[in-house]
Amino acid sequence: KNQVEQSPQSLIILEGKNCTLQCNYTVSPFSNLRWYKQDTGRGPVSLTIMTFSENTKSNGRYTATLDADTKQSSLHITASQLSDSASYICVVRSNDYKLSFGAGTTVTVRA
């Protein structure tokens, strides 16, 4: 069964600090991995999307990494802002177009 595991489940950081979220997956055959940000009361919004040949991709203060060999990805948030408070969801797509979702990591940024 394809699975996507995210850690930690939640974290609290102070404004201006950095943090890293983890995503481990067992999806096979792998097509691509996406990170989404979901604000409270909103739908998810795409941050990054990477194929197996891409090791890193940035979107502003968000940097995602991918190690297709170990089937691990991380999302690094630099110089966090209050607006970064949200759930971050890791989604892995297999070659047969099926999407597997992680349960998300809830990030709370405090002033």
Partner 1 sequence: DTAVSQTPKYLVTQMGNDKSIKCEQNLGHDTMYWYKQDSKKFLKIMFSYNNKELIINETVPNRFSPKSPDKAHLNLHINSLELGDSAVYFCASSRTDGGLAKNIQYFGAGTRLSVL
Name the residues that contact partner 1, by CB under 8 A.
32, 34, 38, 41-46, 49, 51, 87, 89, 93, 97-99, 101, 103-104, 106
Nearer Cβ to partner 1 (12/79): 12
Beta strands in the chain (DSSP E): 4-7, 10-14, 19-25, 30-38, 45-51, 56-59, 62-67, 72-77, 86-94, 99-101, 105-110
**CB of 91: closest distance to partner 1 in angstroms?**
8
SS3 83: helix
Spatial separation of the C-alpha atoms in residues 36 and 33, rounded to whole Å: 10
**CB of 32: closest distance to partner 1 in angstroms?**
6
Spatial separation of the C-alpha atoms in residues 15 and 81, rounded to whole Å: 5
**CB of 46: closest distance to partner 1 in angstroms?**
5
Nearer Cβ to partner 1 (45/79): 45
**CB of 89: closest distance to partner 1 in angstroms?**
7
Spatial separation of the C-alpha atoms in residues 21 and 9, rounded to whole Å: 9
Nearer Cβ to partner 1 (99/111): 99
Nearer Cβ to partner 1 (40/83): 40
